[in-house]
Amino acid sequence: MDLHELTALEQGTLVATGEATPAELVEHYAARADGVGAFVTRTTEQAVAEAAALGPRPDDAGPLWGVPTAIKDLNATRGVRSTFGSAAFADFVPDVDDEVTLRLRAAGMPSLGKTNTPEFGSPCYTEPDVAPPAVTPWDTSRTAGGSSGGAAAAVAAALAPVAQGSDGGGSIRIPASCCGLVGLKPTRGRISGAPMYGDPVGLATAGPLARTVRDAAALLDVLAGRAVGDPFWAPAPDAPFLSATEREPGRLRVARFAEPIITRAEVDPECLKAWDDASALLASLGHEVEDVPVPLPPDAVPTFETCWAVLTAQSVVNLPDRSVLRPLTRWLTERGEAVSGPEFGLAIGAMRRYAAQALAALAPYDVVLTPTLAQPPVPVGALRDDEDPAADFEAQKRFTPWTSAWNVTGMPAISLPLHVTPEGLPVGVMLAARPAEEALLLSLAAQIETAAPWPLLPPSVAGSPR
């Protein structure tokens, strides 16, 4: 078995036992060709240098020490080009690392490069002007999703063992479903947004993309924790999140619904089958599964869109030349700039109230089950409409009618790759838990993975030559 076929934790064990070195892992991955649009910038020389500089494995090293990773191109990396998915920043090189980058480095995880993302992370597809489209290795004519499409493509194509993404409306879970991965959006405040704190609404957070639940939990342990100055934070867990995958979750009460939330959308039968099969699996594992009404009202949708548009406008507020921006970005920016300061404040308040109502409605349940997406991965370009950005935006909503709900509530949510269509396309199923209950969510996810294991690599990658 080649190194890239091992899980991230298995690779960490090789490093811990001296059977492989961090430099050998970096060099192995650096030799693999990117045929899925995973990277905007590869940093092979820097990764080799970082691996060599690690020295002997410390006694207190975590299980991923020495395992390479990759950093999303929305994250600031000192001395490394960070385009934010935009031609407007094609040559931008930050002079600081953000907190996510610092934590990966402190954990002894060399970065193989910056992963592909759409402009400012806004669309749910990854087709920027600064890199080729990110595609799923299950079918390279189809999207890897977004906005963490490059990170998901990298992990699914075994170009990195595990990778960090970020999620403001589904941007970890969407590509996880498209690429057959585990994708976890942590609870609000679990991972620091320092030093920029660019999201005053509280929708976005970093999180892990991985092939297994245990790998995702291990990377969450690396990323989690407050930084001095954070405006809000989740309570520290009693034990590492990885340990949660080693214990049974107990008998849980599961709420489920499949009615789309943010728009009327036709749901592909394969996505409904994945959700229904997951319901039956949970019941067979002893959990109580109950149908519930949609916990967010339609009125929440325009409020979310107001906040989303303002966040996009923030990204370009000091940009002197907007002509290079994508049509969708310009359209969202115009919408955002039309919102007054008081209107934005009122929208944030309304979002908080909608979140509180949903949390109260779901409080009796341990987890909530929905499909992740309304369709399997669609062809590249199928959602994008440069001639009509409003139609583009509506197509994205129909593709992702559930994911943003848990950004509004701040609940942790995970997409699990529980289904493959007859055409060989991956389909995810999503579970969400009460705020700050990632440990319970990971425990349940690990139980599901044991009961119904999924392919760790797509057929095009499994057993592929080095």
Question: How many Cβ atoms sit within 10 Å of the Cβ of residue 45?
Answer: 9
Residues in a beta bridge with 206: 166
The sign one gets for the Cα dihedral 403, 407, 413, 415 is: positive
User: Does residue 273 have an active-site annotation?
Assistant: no
Tracing tokens 């597809």 back to the chain, one arrives at 125
How far apart (Å, rounded) are the C-alpha atoms in residues 278 and 370?
Answer: 9
Q: Is 379 helix (H, G, I), strand (E, B) or coil?
A: strand
Q: Is 232 helix (H, G, I), strand (E, B) or coil?
A: coil
DSSP 21-83: -HHHHHHHHHTS---SS-EEEE-HHHHHHHHHHT-SPPTT--TTTT--EEEETTS--TTS---
Catalytic residue from among 147, 148, 177, 279: 147
Cα angle for residues 319, 391, 308 (degrees, 5° grid): 45
User: Does residue 397 have an active-site annotation?
Assistant: no
- Element (H or E) spanning 414, and its range? strand 413-420
Which two structure tokens, joined as six digits, stand for 87?
A: 């031609």
Question: How many Cβ atoms sit within 10 Å of the Cβ of residue 262?
Answer: 22
Helix axes 213-223, 99-106, angle to 10 degrees: 110
Residues in a beta bridge with 163: 209
Prior bond of 58 cis (ω within 30°): no
Tracing tokens 């996810």 back to the chain, one arrives at 445
Q: State how far the alpha carbon of 346 is from the alpha carbons of 324, 342, 356, in Å.
A: 32, 6, 15
Cα–chain center distance at 141: 21
User: Does residue 72 have an active-site annotation?
Assistant: yes
Catalytic residue from among 148, 171, 177, 192: 171
How far apart (Å, rounded) are the C-alpha atoms in residues 382 and 396?
Answer: 10
| Length of the chain measured in residues | 466
Catalytic residue from among 72, 114, 185, 397: 72
- Element (H or E) spanning 113, and its range? strand 111-115
Which two structure tokens, joined as six digits, stand for 340?
A: 């007054």
How far apart (Å, rounded) are the C-alpha atoms in residues 87 and 200?
Answer: 25
DSSP 377-437: PPBTTSS--TT-HHHHHHHHHHH-TTTTHHHHH---EEEEEEEE-TTS-EEEEEEEESTT-
Sheet holding 69-72, edge to edge: 39-42, 111-115, 69-72
Residues designated catalytic: 72, 147, 171
